[in-house]
C-alpha cells in the first residue's frame, strides 16, 4: 500500500516509516502540509497519516485542503499528535474528514491495527451507493464545519502571536545582562593575565557573542512572524559596503587557509535600499560559507544584470567549496532549524535560524533566494534585487551588530 506521512519531526517520520515498511507498505514522507499536498497530487496515496502541528500548513488545513480535492475525498486519513490538550481538536479533525485520531507515542502494534481498520472501513465505504437526498443538510453542516475551522485557525494565530511576542520580550530582557557580561569580559581581556585565565575569558566572551547572535536571530524571527520588521529605503554605496564586508570576513577565511575574493561590477555604485538588512543577508551567507568550508575558496560576486534610467537589476552570489548539501536536505535549507547536519552545527555554532531569516529578508526586499549545491563539492547561494539608483552621499553599508 502507498502511504503518505506528513510530520515536521524527523524522529517521528523515521519511526513510522520503519514500522510501516516492515509491514510491506511503500512510504513517502513530507515535512508539512504544503509538501504533502504536492506529493499527493504527483502520486495519489492509498492512505495518509498526518501530524497536527506543523509549520507552513498544519494538520487542520492540510486535511481540509486534501478533502476538498475530489480525487482524495475517499482516501483514508489518520491524524496523530503529541500535544492533545483539547477534545475539540479531535472533534474538529474528525468532522473535517479524518478517519482516525491517534496520540503519540504509538505502539507499533496499535499503529498497524489502526491502519488496517481504517483501510478496511474505507474499502467497505467504496461500495456504498452515493446519496443525494440530504443535500441541504450537508450544505448546512459544511457551513458549520467551516465556521469551526475558522475559529480554530484564529485561535492558533493568536497563540502564535503571543508566543512570538513572549520570545521577543524575553530575548530583549536577556540581552541587557548579556551585554554587561560581554563588556566586562572585553575590559578584563585588555589587562594582563596568565595564559589559562586569558583562555577562560576568551571562552566567556566568544560564548557570550554566540548567545547574543542567537537572541538577535530569535528577535528577528518573532518580528517577521508579527510583520513588524520593515525594510528601509536609504541612499548608500553598494561598492563601498561590500568592501566593508570583505574586510570583515577576509581575516577569518585567511586563518583557515581559504582563498577569499570579492568581485563587484564596476558599473554599480550608489543605490536606494536597506543597507543594514542587505548587510545582514550577505554577512550570514559569508559567515556560513567560511564556517562550513575547510579547504578551497569562498567568493562573492555582485553583477549588474540589467540597467534602466532609474534602476539596477543586481545579482548577488556567495560561492564556496565547502561540504555542500545533500539532496534530501536541500528543500529544507531555508526552513527554521533546517540545518544540514545537527552535529556540525553544534560543533561550529549557530541558531539554525540564519538562513530562514535570510530568505525572509530577501523576500521583503523583493527578491527570491536560491541555492545550488552538491554534497562534497560546495554551494552557491544567489538572489536578485531591483534597486533604485542613488546619489553620491557619504554613507556606506555597515555590518549588522
Residues 6+ apart with CB under 8 A from 325: 333, 340, 371, 373, 375, 379
Supply the pLDDT for residue 296.
93
Query: Three-state SS for 42?
Result: helix
Tell me the three cell numbers of residue 298. 569562498
Q: By C-alpha distance, which of 57, 99, 72, 82 is closest to 2?
A: 72
At 307, the pLDDT band (50, 70, 90 cuts) reads very high
- Answer whether 78's CB lies under 8 Å from 114's CB: yes
Q: What is the mean pLDDT of residues 169-179?
A: 67
Long-range contact list for 323-327, CB < 8 A, 24+ apart? Answer: 323/292, 323/293, 323/294, 323/375, 323/376, 323/378, 324/373, 324/374, 324/375, 324/376, 324/377, 324/378, 324/379, 325/371, 325/373, 325/375, 325/379, 326/375, 327/375
- Answer whether 302's CB lies under 8 Å from 314's CB: yes
Supply the pLDDT for residue 110.
77
Supply the pLDDT for residue 167.
62
Supply the pLDDT for residue 131.
47
Q: By C-alpha distance, which of 59, 39, 49, 42 is closest to 16?
A: 49
Q: What is the mean pLDDT of residues 216-229?
A: 62
Residues 6+ apart with CB under 8 A from 292: 320, 322, 323, 340, 344, 348
Amino acid at each position: 500500500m502507498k502511504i503518505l506521512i506528513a510530520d515536521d519531526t524527523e524522529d517521528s517520520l523515521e519511526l513510522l516509516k520503519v514500522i510501516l515498511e516492515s509491514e510491506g507498505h511503500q512510504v513517502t514522507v513530507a515535512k508539512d502540509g504544503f509538501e504533502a499536498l504536492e506529493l499527493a497530487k504527483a502520486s495519489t496515496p492509498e492512505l495518509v497519516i498526518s501530524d497536527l502541528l506543523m509549520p507552513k500548513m498544519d494538520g487542520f488545513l492540510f486535511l481540509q485542503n486534501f478533502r476538498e480535492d475530489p480525487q482524495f475525498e475517499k482516501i483514508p486519513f489518520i491524524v496523530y499528535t503529541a500535544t492533545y490538550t483539547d477534545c475539540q481538536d479531535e472533534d474538529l479533525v474528525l468532522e473535517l474528514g479524518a478517519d482516525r485520531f491517534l496520540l503519540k507515542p504509538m505502539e507499533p502494534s496499535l499503529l498497524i491495527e489502526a491502519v488496517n481498520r481504517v483501510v478496511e472501513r474505507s474499502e467497505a465505504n467504496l461500495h456504498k451507493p452515493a446519496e443525494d437526498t440530504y443535500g441541504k443538510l450537508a450544505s448546512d453542516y459544511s457551513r458549520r464545519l467551516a465556521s469551526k475551522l475558522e475559529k480554530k485557525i484564529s485561535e492558533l494565530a493568536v497563540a502564535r502571536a503571543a508566543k512570538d511576542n513572549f520570545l521577543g520580550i524575553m530575548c530583549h530582557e536577556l540581552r541587557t545582562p548579556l551585554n554587561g557580561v560581554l563588556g566586562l569580559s572585553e575590559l578584563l581581556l585588555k589587562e594582563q593575565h596568565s595564559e589559562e585565565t586569558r583562555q577562560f575569558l576568551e571562552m566567556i566572551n566568544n560564548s557570550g557573542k554566540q548567545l547574543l547572535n542567537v537572541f538577535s536571530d530569535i528577535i528577528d524571527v518573532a518580528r517577521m512572524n508579527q510583520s513588524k520588521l520593515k525594510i528601509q529605503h536609504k541612499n548608500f554605496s553598494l561598492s563601498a559596503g561590500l568592501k566593508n564586508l570583505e574586510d570583515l570576513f577576509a581575516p577569518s577565511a585567511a586563518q583557515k587557509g581559504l582563498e577569499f575574493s570579492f568581485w563587484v561590477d564596476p558599473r554599480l555604485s550608489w543605490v536606494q535600499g536597506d543597507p543594514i538588512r542587505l548587510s545582514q543577508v550577505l554577512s550570514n551567507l559569508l559567515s556560513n560559507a567560511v564556517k562550513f568550508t575547510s579547504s578551497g575558496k569562498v567568493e562573492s560576486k555582485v553583477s549588474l544584470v540589467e540597467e534602466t534610467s532609474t534602476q539596477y537589476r543586481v545579482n548577488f552570489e556567495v560561492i564556496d567549496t565547502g561540504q555542500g548539501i545533500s539532496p534530501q536536505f536541500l528543500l529544507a535549507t531555508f526552513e527554521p532549524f533546517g540545518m544540514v547536519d545537527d552535529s556540525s552545527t553544534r560543533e561550529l555554532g549557530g541558531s539554525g535560524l540564519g538562513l530562514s531569516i535570510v530568505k525572509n529578508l530577501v523576500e521583503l526586499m523583493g527578491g527570491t533566494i536560491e541555492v545550488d549545491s552538491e554534497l562534497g563539492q560546495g554551494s552557491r547561494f544567489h538572489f536578485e534585487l531591483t534597486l533604485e539608483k542613488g546619489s553620491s552621499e557619504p554613507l556606506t553599508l555597515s555590518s549588522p551588530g
